[in-house]
Structure 1
Amino acid sequence: MRDIALTMLFVAVLPFAVRHAYAGVLLWTWISIMNPHKLTWGFATHAPFAAVAAGVTLMSLVITKDRLKFKLTPPILLLVLFVVWMCITTALAFNPAGSWVQLNKVLKIQLMTLIAIAAIQSKKHIELFVWVNALSVAFFGIKGGIYTISTGGGGRVWGPPGGFIEGNNELGLALIMTIPLLVFLRGTVDRPWIRKAMMMAIVLCAVSAIGTQSRGAMLAIAAMGFVLWLRSRSKMLSGIVIVVLAIGLVAFMPESWTQRMGTIQTYEEDGSAMGRINAWHMTTNVANDRLTGGGFAVYSRPLFAIYAPNPDIVRVAHSIYFSVLGEHGYIGLFLFLAIWVAALRMAADLRKRARGVAELQWVHMLASMCQVSLVGYAVGGAFLSLAYFDLPYNVFVILVVLKRWMDEKRWEQDKEGVFPISLWRKRAPHLVGQRVGGK
């Protein structure tokens, strides 16, 4: 029954996706992040939904009459250079054939990232894109939150089969990144019952993230909480709330969870942590030896025997930073870091430009939440191999498109004879927060 329902829904959306490229992007995003077909038990489980969604989206670029716009701005150029460099490192990899398997997946994601930038144009498109990204992950957060509460924190929450967030650690980070997006979406709805439902979803996602028993997710929660505390107007009140919630969390979760979180401080005694550190040394040694790194398929016993301090522990890097370093060298790591620094700067610039303008409060809120989401990714990703996961790149898309929307909106105001926002602030600061021409 699930197979039939999913297939019928997918087929029903396809004609709209053919006519509108942004709809194709939304369809692809839903399939690639949520993997709903993996939740079925029959013929749909292995059906090529993602490939069909991608093909239809590419077709729509030719057929659609909607406006498409793509400008190679510095942040986008950094992303393109990173993709080109990954192609070079794959060609020069220790194992080119094995590395090509992962590069093929990465290229599909990045192609759709660039298409999303071109197809998503209006405020409506941006909000729909946020909804699809957030709900695709929140589904598992709501489910996992209920499971965590029902088991008293005794059970561990896992992600959906297949895809990037199958593991508990990966799902934990995805949930942490999604919570800020849910906070933004809650502010866009007016109906009280929807706002309450969104608040419930936020709480359950937070509980689910804790229920994954991921230490990286806990560090990401702490980092995001600190950023939100810094931005709060009442730091004393928000600090008290955070402390109370933390105490309640420790009291609710079982002792096994507390002991696992305690290994963050005693990592020398934890085999998993020491295995990661061994892999980090290995990837660093590879990058020191080769300008282009070792390629995607660098985690093999022969290479660990050459580059790792302990050749008997063969594991992936479990870090977005060390995985990129070992796979693509220092140049690849520089480009990777530059992408996210550019994204954070875009978010800061958008917040600054939209601050105090009533019509742009949604921009200010969305940019703020994207910034918080990327902080969670930067901290939690230090302990997970999610350098090529769709969600952070989709947050990047949101910021790029949001900046373009802001720039074009200002141009439209100039054309209509209305002061641009920056000039408006200088000439009429007392009107900040009111509509132009309003009373």
Structure 2
Amino acid sequence: MLDLALLGFIGILLLMGFKRPFFWVLTYIYIDIVVPQKIGWGLVQTFQLSMIAFVAAFCGWVFLDSKKGSRFTMVQGLIVVLLLYCGMTTVMAAYPEAAWAKWNWVWKALIFAAFLPLTLRTRLRIEAAALIMVLAIATIIINGGIKTVGGGGGYGTLRLLVQEDSGLYEGSILSTAAIATIPVALWLARHGTIFKPDWRVWGFTAGLVFACLLIPVGTSARTGLICIGVMLIMIMRSVKNRALYAAGAGLALMVAIPFLPASFTERMGTIQNYQGDQSASTRVEVWKWTYHYALANPLGGGFDAYLGNSFTYNTRKVTGTPPNVTVTYEEVVENSRAYHSSYFEMLGEQGWPGLFIWLLLQGTGVWQMERLRWRFAAREGGKEGWQWGLATALQQAQIIYLVGAAFVGIAFQPFIFMLIGLQCALWSYVQRVEYAPRKANFHRGAVAGEGGPAGAD
């Protein structure tokens, strides 16, 4: 029954695409985030749902959809450059089999991110894409939030929709993406036109935000706690009454702490003393190895070059209370440990040029959203408009991602590249609407000074 329900839902979306080809774009977004073919048990797994929707989205735009208003931006160009560079490093990869396996999904994420803005020509389409992204990831987040409340959380033990610990179903990745989703969800609740703001929309949004905040607790992901702190700081930048916001956030934190599970608070304590935690110590050693590897291999080693790392280090554990303190050291040998950082992931896999392209891509997105914020904030009532709100939400989401990315390898996470696609679409839309050439009015028999200024609409 589950397989039939999933196939039926996807089938309806695909059929709707024959009337409105843009639905195929939304279908691919849903499939790429939720991965329904892994949720089912049999029949749904026999279909290449992702590839079907991927091809339908592209063909639908090329052959059936209007191209009016579609623009190719600088950020999309950077995505294409990064794609080509990754292709080159994959050909020269140190571990070809693993590299080609990662390339099989990275190229789709990058191409779709560059393609998505071309389809988002109107406000309605931009909102629809944002809505599907939020609702799709909410499918995973709400499931995890319910299980966390029911006591099913814990590091490496929270079971979501699939029995798999990768992609958005991995604890630290989901924690980062969940917190990054909050600003976009709040924007939809304030400015949505598909589901207009009312008590039901705000009720669902409040529940979703709560579930997002529960994900770091349920997964015991330290990255999620840091992302929550960044989000609170970013929101303070845009709220009207900062003092009231700060007081409310502080009160909520004080109320929440007693209800946090001991396993969560104990794991968060290792943020301060990384030398006593093997997981955190390993990350530091991997980062050191990656830096030296990049010095010897400036162009990187291709995808999954971390498979060649090997190092030995000592963990430091302090027991007892002063003055009766005992310090013990334990030697640890590690091999083929993942980067646990997007920055070092890019450095090790794509070298210095790849890291530069990726950082330029991310920095340009933050800068463009800031420019939109300045532009609309300078207008009377501009901060109440949907453009300022969406630019703020997307910038907040990206900065949360960039901070979380320092501790988890999500340099090519498709969900984040979809957010970048939304940034490109918003930037292109505003540039097109704001600077559209004004149509000249010519009236038979008009004389100078009549009919308004030249070029008036």
TM-score by length of 1: 0.88
Contact 2:144 2:158 in 1 (8 A): yes
C-alpha distance in 2, partners of 1:387/1:159? 23
Structure 1 position 304 matched with structure 2 position 305: no
1:333 pairs with one of 351, 355, 371: 355
Q: Identify which range, 1-10 or 315-324, moves more after superposition.
A: 1-10
Residues 289, 198 of structure 1: CA spacing in aligned structure 2 closer, same or farther, 3 A cutoff? Answer: same
C-alpha distance in 1, partners of 2:126/2:77? 21
Match of 2:386 in 1: 362
Residues 97, 157 of structure 1: CA spacing in aligned structure 2 closer, same or farther, 3 A cutoff? Answer: closer
Structure 1 position 157 matched with structure 2 position 158: yes
C-alpha distance in 2, partners of 1:65/1:169? 38
Q: Identify which range, 328-337 or 401-410, moves more after superposition.
A: 401-410
Residue 74 of structure 1 and its aligned partner are, at CA, apart by 2.3
Residue 315 of structure 1 and its aligned partner are, at CA, apart by 1.0
Letter aligned with residue 198 of structure 1: T
C-alpha distance in 2, partners of 1:308/1:129? 47
Contact 1:158 1:168 in 2 (8 A): no
Tell me the matched-pair count: 415
Match of 2:214 in 1: 207
Map 1:417-432 to 2 at 5 A: none
Match of 2:346 in 1: 324
Q: Identify which range, 13-22 or 290-299, moves more after superposition.
A: 13-22
C-alpha distance in 1, partners of 2:420/2:94? 31
C-alpha distance in 1, partners of 2:351/2:154? 41
Contact 1:275 1:313 in 2 (8 A): no
Match of 2:48 in 1: 48
2:180 pairs with one of 177, 181, 205: 177
C-alpha distance in 2, partners of 1:405/1:25? 18
C-alpha distance in 2, partners of 1:215/1:74? 35
Structure 1 position 226 matched with structure 2 position 233: yes
Structure 1 position 395 matched with structure 2 position 396: no
Match of 2:106 in 1: 106
From the two aligned structures, give the one with the greater strand fraction. Answer: 2
% of aligned pairs identical? Answer: 25
Match of 2:25 in 1: 25
C-alpha distance in 2, partners of 1:90/1:175? 30
Contact 1:318 1:384 in 2 (8 A): yes
Contact 2:117 2:424 in 1 (8 A): yes
Residue 70 of structure 1 and its aligned partner are, at CA, apart by 4.9
Residue 90 of structure 1 and its aligned partner are, at CA, apart by 1.2
Q: Identify which range, 51-60 or 205-214, moves more after superposition.
A: 205-214
C-alpha distance in 2, partners of 1:119/1:268? 49
Structure 1 position 343 matched with structure 2 position 365: yes
C-alpha distance in 2, partners of 1:69/1:102? 34
Structure 1 residues 201-229: Cα deviation after superposition (integer angstroms, max 9, x where no partner): 21222123332210011101101111112
Contact 2:220 2:267 in 1 (8 A): yes
Contact 1:19 1:60 in 2 (8 A): no
**2:103 match: secondary structure:** helix
Residues 166, 248 of structure 1: CA spacing in aligned structure 2 closer, same or farther, 3 A cutoff? Answer: same
**1:415 match: secondary structure:** coil
Residue 367 of structure 1 and its aligned partner are, at CA, apart by 0.8
Provide structure 1 residue ranges, at least 5 long, that are not aligned to the other structure. 418-436
Residues 210, 59 of structure 1: CA spacing in aligned structure 2 closer, same or farther, 3 A cutoff? Answer: same
Map 1:219-258 to 2 at 5 A: 219-258=226-265
Contact 2:306 2:348 in 1 (8 A): no
Match of 1:194 in 2: 201
Residue 106 of structure 1 and its aligned partner are, at CA, apart by 0.7
Contact 2:305 2:348 in 1 (8 A): yes
Structure 1 residues 43-62: Cα deviation after superposition (integer angstroms, max 9, x where no partner): 11353110110121222133
**2:272 match: secondary structure:** coil
Residues 76, 152 of structure 1: CA spacing in aligned structure 2 closer, same or farther, 3 A cutoff? Answer: closer
Q: Identify which range, 40-49 or 239-248, moves more after superposition.
A: 40-49
**2:405 match: secondary structure:** helix
C-alpha distance in 2, partners of 1:68/1:107? 27
From the two aligned structures, give the one with the greater helix fraction. Answer: 1
Match of 1:78 in 2: 78
Tell which structure's C-alpha radius of gyration is larger: 2
Contact 1:68 1:118 in 2 (8 A): no
Residue 21 of structure 1 and its aligned partner are, at CA, apart by 4.3
Structure 1 position 128 matched with structure 2 position 135: no
Match of 1:91 in 2: 91
Provide structure 2 residue ranges, at least 5 long, that are not aligned to the other structure. 314-331, 442-456
Contact 2:83 2:107 in 1 (8 A): yes
Contact 2:131 2:188 in 1 (8 A): yes
Q: Identify which range, 37-46 or 388-397, moves more after superposition.
A: 37-46
Contact 2:160 2:169 in 1 (8 A): yes
Letter aligned with residue 176 of structure 1: I
Q: Identify which range, 23-32 or 64-73, moves more after superposition.
A: 64-73
C-alpha distance in 2, partners of 1:59/1:230? 42
**1:107 match: secondary structure:** helix
Residues 91, 202 of structure 1: CA spacing in aligned structure 2 closer, same or farther, 3 A cutoff? Answer: same
Match of 1:3 in 2: 3
Q: Identify which range, 223-232 or 254-263, moves more after superposition.
A: 223-232
CA RMSD in angstroms, aligned pairs only: 2.3
TM-score by length of 2: 0.85
Residue 311 of structure 1 and its aligned partner are, at CA, apart by 6.0
Contact 1:90 1:296 in 2 (8 A): yes
Contact 2:223 2:407 in 1 (8 A): yes
C-alpha distance in 2, partners of 1:263/1:72? 45
Residue 36 of structure 1 and its aligned partner are, at CA, apart by 2.3
2:282 pairs with one of 275, 287, 304: 275
Match of 1:376 in 2: 400
**1:312 match: secondary structure:** strand
Contact 1:19 1:65 in 2 (8 A): no
Q: Identify which range, 233-242 or 40-49, moves more after superposition.
A: 40-49
Residues 274, 15 of structure 1: CA spacing in aligned structure 2 closer, same or farther, 3 A cutoff? Answer: same
